[in-house]
Each structure stands twice: as structure tokens, then as C-alpha cells.
Structure 1
Amino acid sequence: MEHHREEPGLPAPRGPLSRGVEAYLRGAGRLPRLEAVARAEVYGEDLQLALYLCYELHYRGFEGVSPDREWDPELLRIRAALEQRFLSALRADARVHDSVDEALADLLVEPVDGAGVTHFLRDEGELWHLREYAAQRSLYHLKEADPHAWVLPRLWGRAKAGMAAVEFDEWGGGRADRVHARLFADLMKDLGLDTTYGRYLDAACAEALVTVNLMSLFGLHRALRGALVGHFATVEITSSPGSRRLAEAMRRTGAGPAAEHFYDEHVEADAVHEQVVRHDVIGGLLAEEPHLAPDVAFGIDATEFVEDRFAARLLADWRASRSSLHAPLAREATHIS
């Protein structure tokens, strides 16, 4: 199936920052003052939605918003202030590894008694948990691999070739029906979810917004190319075991064949990608630019930090039998054939 390609509508604001950015995008108001950025909670709903609105202009944009807003100088000025707060907080809060090798070594260790989101979904998750997880993750997976493409012009040699090879797989290897964003839309259909791009932006929690904003932040700044490579490595290295657990969760709950296939595909593909990313992308980048090693490690650490926060939010809500979404889904929905 094809998922909808229309520009998404603007979401409801979550505070003065996102309200001001949204009004400016519609041509109906002024942008917030820079002092308001300094007062906002850095990982909170308002700041993260405001930043997401700025970033989305570089992807699909929004219905009724002029494409010219993408490079609007005033909007870029407020975006820079939002980014600076976000980046400063990440550098202060994320774990710091002394080397890329140490950071990668930790990623490669699978805890025997893991208790993360994918473990929960595999062992005790119900269909409504899987539907919520898919809705939250749709903010990224319906544009899967796109944020990482920003780094391609900033790499060369072995790193560029390796990165392009993995991205080519993510985009279906030349086959539209195998593009991973398309496969995720098929998964969403199995789960009875709306496959429209951006449909669940209003419902997604701040912690989900943070995970997507992180890759846009890294991808849109050449100075952060090392961090983007670190982020990409984290995704590819941790994807295969997590996807295996999610595939088992889909089978156990009878989510549907497309739901199973999406994660089965990632188990196999990302096991291969892991080797390419470690040896060619990271290895090639650091052979050419060894001074970027701390940035690669930071990208890994920051990714782990924001993903841990997202997981903690989901598990806290689910263990309390409450929805993780701002607009809860109907729990009785089942597989749609």
C-alpha cells in the first residue's frame, strides 16, 4: 500500500514557544522572544515541539505553510536558540565515553536480563501497547533513513560509500515496495493505525519528539557530522536484537503479517549493516578525520540517553495502565486484513 504523501497539518501548540512558531508559520503572529527559549524546559513538550516544527520544514513541511519558510532568517534565528539549548543540555546530561571503541563495546553487549521496552513488548505487551509504540515511532519511521542522508555530502571515500550502501538498503534497494518507510506504513495498517505522514504528531509525547529532533539536529549541521555517524551506528548496532524481540511481540499478539515482516526485515538487514557501519562508515570517517572521534562517541552517548528517556516514559505509563499518548488510541482495535 502507499501511505499518504500530503503535507501534514500543523499540530496543536503545547506552550508559548510552539504557539509562537506555529503562528509565525501561518503568517498570523510574531516569533517568541529569545528569552522565552531560555526559560523553557529543555526536554519539555513546548521547546521540543517548537524545534520539531522548525525541522519539519526541511522534510515535508506543513499544509498551508509556504515552502519559503524553510530558510526564513528570523525562523532560523529562533531555531538556532532552540538548538543551542538542546545541544548544551545533551552535552551536559549524556554519558561520556572516553573513546569510540568503548562506546561501541557497550552497544554490543546485550544484557542477559534486559528490561527495556522491546523486552516488555515481547514478554507481556498487549496489542494496545504495540499500537502506541508504532504511533510514537511513526514520527521517524515514516521518514526512515531520511535524517541520516544529510551527512552524505559531508563524507567521502570509504565512509561515504559505506553510508550510501546502507541508506540504499533502507530505501528499498531501488524497489519502492521495499522502502522501509513503506514497510512501516504497512505495519501501521496491520495495527489499525492511520498511515498518513505526521498523523500522530499531536499525540506523541515529548520524549518521542526528542528522539527525532536529535537526528535532525545532527544531520542538519556539518559541524556535527561525527555525531550523526555515531547516532547512525547506535541505531544500526542495536536494531537487530531489538527488532527480533519486536517481531516476536507482533507474532505473539497476532498483529499481522506486515507488522511481523517489518521487524523481521530489520533483524537480517541491520545485522549486516552493523558491520558496514563499524568498519566502513566509522572506520573510514576516523581514518580521514581522526579529530572527530569525540563527536562520534558523543553521538552514541546522546542517542542512548534520549532513547533511555523515551523508554522510561513508555514503561512508566504502561506499567501504570495508562496511555503514553496525549490522545489515547482505542484499545480494542485489532489486526485489519
Structure 2
Amino acid sequence: MRLPVPRGPISERLFGELARPPHAFGLPPPLTGPSAEPRVADEDVQVALFACYEMHYQGFDEVDERWEWNRSVLAVRERLEDRFERALAAAVPRPPAAPARDVPRLLVEMVPGGGPWPLADYLHKDACLDRFREFVVHRSLYHLKEADPHTWAIPRLRGPVKAALVEIQADEYGGGRAGRMHSELFRGTMRALGLDDAYGAYADRVPAVTLAVDNAMSMFGLHRRHRGRLLGGSAAARRYYDEHVQADAVHEQIAVWDMCGRFAAGDPGAGGEVLYGAACALTLDRLFAEHVMDRWRSGASSLREPHAVPAGR
């Protein structure tokens, strides 16, 4: 995977530094002073944060692996995370406080009912193959590493809660069979659709709202203080294909009752974080769906224009 193309002064400065051997550098000027009201779909912030997080996953071909824990990069990431957290706080109302015993029920009730999700319904009934390919391109950034952010939570949990997450993760990773890993199943779907199944192949084509979904899970996974939000995010209903749908139906029950419910019971003050994590996941999914449907209704692509990516990248 190569570094994405910069989308503004923050990512341009950061990516320029990362192309060199590890060294100390100062914060990009846009991060040193007061910022405008943060937005979830800030292209520059989201692509820079995505790059910071990706160094904890597969990394980049042209970036020295020693950058992963470089203090200058961590300082940039801290400022970017602050902006992202403030943007989430503005976009996602905190659910009311609730007793720990009510957390599983409230998680289930948070998922909209009364009819299909508009994007899912459109893909199921009306989308042409090209539209479905676009959707798969969007989802590829997350689904090709799908279970990894939640794996970071395993050593931060105890007892039955840890066991419940391990049960879910074991299934996500195919029960030890590489070909059954859900990320590999998704890769097979991409190949069948004639898409590039390389990890991160479409990082330059997806907009900020798509990167935000991926970045939220990474941010929640990398910070122990956000472990409740990560669990809540995993309990939000996801819409996927064949085996994944069946697996998630089981995972939802394990996540809601055995994982989130017991986590809230063991730490009553964390129940609100679980609900907030679910609210973040659902809000980001809604913003993503609105972006895609708005673009499609206007007859345009929901992806970034190919000419935004220089030749050879």
C-alpha cells in the first residue's frame, strides 16, 4: 500500500515528512492554532488520520516502519483525534444515562426499525452492477481489515466479556482457516466484481465520510479509555452478505448480551460509553449512506474523481 494523495495542508506536510527517514518535526501550521468548527467529513483531517492509523496495521511501502511510534507523528495524531472527537460530539447526541441492566435492550432499540435501510434497500432492489461495485469499493477499506481494530480490545477486557469478544473474533478470522476469514471472503467478492482486491487499493477514491467510518473504529480500538465505545460500535447491526449475515446474527446476540451487557454490569459507569459508541457507529453509517444516495440520485459517482489521483499513484 502506498501513501494516499494529500488532500490539504495537513496531509501534504505529514506525508512529505513520512517519505523521509524518521526524524523530529513540528506540527503542521493548521494544527497549531485555533481551528474552525470540526467536521466529520473533513477530507484533509480524515486522510491524515487514516495514514497515522494505517501505520499500526499494514503500513505503507515507502514509509519506514520506525515512524509508527515516532513522537512527532503521535503528536500530529493526537491533534487530529481531538478534531475528530469534537466533530463526533457535535454530530452524535449522547444517549441518556441508563442503568447497566438496560444497556442490551437499548442497544437493540437504537437500530432503526419499521422498514429497510434506504441504501441497503436500493442495493437489494434497484442498483445496477456499477453502483454495487462502488459500494464495495467504499467498504473495502474497512472490510479488508475488518476484525483488527476490535482485536486491540481483547487484552483490555477480563473474564466473560473477554471470552465473548474472543468468540466473535475467532469467527471473524475464519476459525483459524485463512480462506474463511471474513476479510478474505470480501476479497473474493471484490475479485468476482472485477475490482482490485489489494489492501487499501482504493484509499484515494473514497471520500472523507468513508474514511471516518474506518477511523472511528481505529481510534476506539487504539485507546483503552474508548474500549466501551469500541464494544458499542461492534454491537451496531451491520448489513453484509451470505455467510457474514448469518454470522453477524449470532455475533449480535453475543455482542449485545454477553459482551456489552456484562461489560456495563461490571463497570456501570461505562454503560454510557457503550451506548455512545453504538450511536457513533450508526450516525457515521447514516452519513455515509446519505452521501452515497445523494450522489447517486444526482446521477454522479459517490467516489472521488479519478483525476484527483496523479498518474502513477
- Residue ranges of structure 2 left out of the alignment (5+ in a row): 308-313
Amino acid at match of 1:188: M
- The equivalent residue for 1:155 is 157
**CA distance in 1: counterparts of 2:286 and 2:188, whole angstroms:** 27
> 1:71 corresponds to which residue?
69
Per-residue deviation, residues 129-182 of structure 1 (Å, max 9, x unmatched): 110011111000110100111111110101100000000000001111101111
Residues 201, 317 of structure 1: alpha-carbon distance in 2 compared, 3 angstrom cutoff: same
**Does the aligned pair in 2 maintain the 1:11–1:201 contact within 8 Å?**
yes
Q: Is the 8 A contact 1:42 1:48 kept in 2?
A: no
Residue type at the aligned position of 1:106: E
Could you say which residue in structure 1 is the equivalent of 2:311? none
Assess, with a 3 A threshold, how the Cα gap between structure 1 residues 105 and 176 changes in structure 2: closer, same or farther.
closer
For normalisation by structure 1, the TM-score amounts to 0.84
- Match among 4, 17, 36 for residue 10 of structure 2: 17
8 Å CA contact 2:144, 2:183 repeated in 1: yes
Identity %: 41
Distance in 2 between the 1:91 and 1:77 partners?
Answer: 21
- The answer as to 2:298 corresponding to 1:301 is no
Letter in 2 for 1:80: E
Q: Which of 201, 204, 212 is the equivalent residue of 1:202? A: 204
What is the CA–CA distance in structure 2 between the aligned matches of 1:130 and 1:328, rounded to whole Å? 18
Deviation readout 1:60-116 (Å, 9 max, x if unpaired): 11011111111000110111011011112212320322233564132355322x352
Q: How many residues align?
A: 297
Contact 1:23 1:31 in 2 (8 A): no
How well do the aligned residues superpose, as a CA RMSD in angstroms? 1.9
List aligned pairs for 1:225-236, cutoff 5 A: 225-234=227-236
Amino acid of the structure 2 residue aligned with 1:45: E
Question: What SS does structure 2 have at the residue aligned with 1:38?
Answer: coil
The one-letter code sitting in structure 2 at the alignment partner of 1:15 is: G
TM-score normalised to structure 2 length: 0.90
Residue identity matched to 1:21: L
Equivalent of 2:220 in 211, 218, 222: 218
Partner of 1:107: 110
1:164-313 pair list within 5 angstroms: 164-234=166-236, 238-239=237-238, 242-243=239-240, 263-313=241-291
8 Å CA contact 1:145–1:171 kept in 2: the answer is yes
Alignment of 1:19-38 (within 5 A): 19-27=12-20, 31-33=27-29, 34-35=31-32, 38=35
Equivalence for 2:48: 50
Q: Closer, same or farther in 2 for the Cα pair 1:115/1:274, shift >3 Å?
A: closer
Instruction: Give yes or no for contact 1:172–1:178 (8 Å, CA) kept in 2.
Output: yes
Q: In 1, Cα distance between the equivalents of 2:164 and 2:44?
A: 37
Structure 1 letter corresponding to 2:273: D
The one-letter code sitting in structure 2 at the alignment partner of 1:38 is S
In the TM superposition, what is the alpha-carbon distance from 1:41 to its structure 2 partner? 4.8
Counterpart of 2:310? none
Contact 2:38/2:84 (<8 A) preserved: no
In 2 relative to 1, CA 40–58 (structure 1 residues): closer, same or farther, beyond 3 Å? Answer: farther
Q: CA deviation at 1:40?
A: 7.8
Cα distance in structure 2, aligned partners of 1:322 and 1:80:
35
| Residue 247 (structure 1) aligns with | none
8 Å Cα contact 2:49/2:80 also seen in 1: yes
Matched letter for residue 319 of structure 1: R
Does structure 2 retain, via aligned residues, the 8 Å contact 1:37–1:47? no
> Which whole-Å CA distance do the structure 1 matches of 2:112 and 2:203 have between them?
33
